[in-house]
């Protein structure tokens, strides 16, 4: 696959996955390491693109703020179940109450599987097996059985190191489409960077709407038309975008890592 070109920042709307794209995966979601200068780079991109930069992530927005601080970036959390543009937060709290008993029962069913971590995110449940890869097939089977007890439209997405149960409306494509109808994103070319199965709907939407789709470390088939080899390669590409002709932002020195406590 080809490396992505650097688009015109004045005509681009940038959407960024977090885990596996901006930061490396970790055995526990709270243990990811964030480069010290990454928030400054994202702030520079926000200036370069006239504010048209947003996180589109499976993380909830409280965790996004914990990782990056209050950058004032628009964000879609929990695959779009949470949406933030400006200071107003939209969420689906009623759905979360309806599915909580099913999620809790599934966690009890997996209690004997060492190394499996459950992340309850309101209407979405993420089950992480990165620390215990041998459990992935059993966890997937149990989650598929639990799917029958969830409201109509719920689906299961299997990733590299776990599975997620989420409602029909929770897709990265829907989140990107929502942003693209609103300023400062409206009228620009969508650009989306992601690394996993849950990002594929976003790649497809961006392709169909004349944008730039980029998968990080692609393994197997993907809808993305471009690829970057690593998280470090993503940072390098973002620096080039921040410093593109006509951009006021300037990239900082080599990035340093910080560790989030578990």
CATH fold of 9-90+170-259, please?
Rossmann fold (3.40.50)
Does 40 participate in catalysis according to the annotation? no
Confidence (pLDDT) at 253: 39
| pLDDT confidence tier of residue 260, bands split at 50, 70 and 90 | very low
**Is the per-residue pLDDT at 41 higher than 70?**
yes
**Is the per-residue pLDDT at 245 higher than 80?**
no
**Is the per-residue pLDDT at 255 higher than 50?**
no
**For a pLDDT cut of 90, what percent of the chain falls above it?**
67
What mean pLDDT is reported for the chain? 89
**Is the per-residue pLDDT at 64 higher than 50?**
yes
What's the CATH architecture for 93-166?
Answer: 2-Layer Sandwich (3.30)
Confidence (pLDDT) at 93: 58
| pLDDT confidence tier of residue 92, bands split at 50, 70 and 90 | low
Model confidence, pTM = 0.80
**Catalytic pick among 17, 37, 60, 199:** 17
Core vs surface per residue 210-233: b (16+ CB within 10 A) or e = ebbbbbbbeeeebbbbbbbeebee
65-78 confidence digits (pLDDT tens): 999 998 999 999 98
d(C-alpha 215, C-alpha 223), whole Å: 9
**Is the per-residue pLDDT at 258 higher than 70?**
no
Name the residue ranges covered by the structural domains of the chain.
9-90+170-259, 93-166
Core vs surface per residue 141-152: b (16+ CB within 10 A) or e = ebbeebeeebee
Confidence (pLDDT) at 238: 98
Mean pLDDT of 128-140: 93
């Amino acid at each position: 696959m080809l490396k992505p070109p650097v688009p015109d920042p004045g005509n681009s709307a940038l959407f960024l996955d977090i885990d596996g794209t901006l930061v490396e995966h970790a055995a526990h979601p709270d243990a990811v390491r964030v480069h010290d200068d990454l928030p400054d780079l994202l702030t520079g991109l926000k200036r370069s693109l006239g504010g048209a930069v947003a996180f589109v992530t499976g993380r909830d927005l409280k965790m996004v703020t914990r990782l990056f601080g209050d950058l004032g970036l628009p964000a879609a959390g929990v695959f779009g179940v949470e949406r933030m543009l400006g200071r107003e937060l939209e969420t689906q709290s009623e759905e979360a109450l309806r599915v909580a008993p099913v999620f809790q029962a599934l966690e009890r069913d997996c209690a004997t599987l060492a190394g499996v971590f459950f992340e309850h995110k309101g209407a979405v449940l993420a089950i992480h097996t990165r620390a215990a890869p041998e459990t992935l097939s059993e966890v997937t089977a149990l989650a598929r059985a639990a799917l029958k007890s969830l409201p109509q439209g719920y689906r299961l997405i299997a990733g590299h190191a776990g599975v997620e149960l989420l409602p029909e409306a929770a897709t990265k494509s829907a989140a990107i489409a929502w942003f693209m109808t609103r300023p400062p994103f409206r009228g620009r070319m969508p650009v989306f960077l992601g690394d996993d199965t849950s990002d594929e709907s976003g790649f497809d939407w961006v392709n169909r709407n004349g944008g730039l789709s980029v998968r990080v470390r692609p393994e197997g088939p993907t809808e993305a038309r471009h690829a970057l080899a690593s998280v470090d390669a993503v940072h390098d590409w973002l620096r080039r975008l921040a410093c593109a002709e006509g951009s006021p932002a300037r990239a900082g020195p080599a990035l340093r890592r910080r560790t989030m406590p578990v």
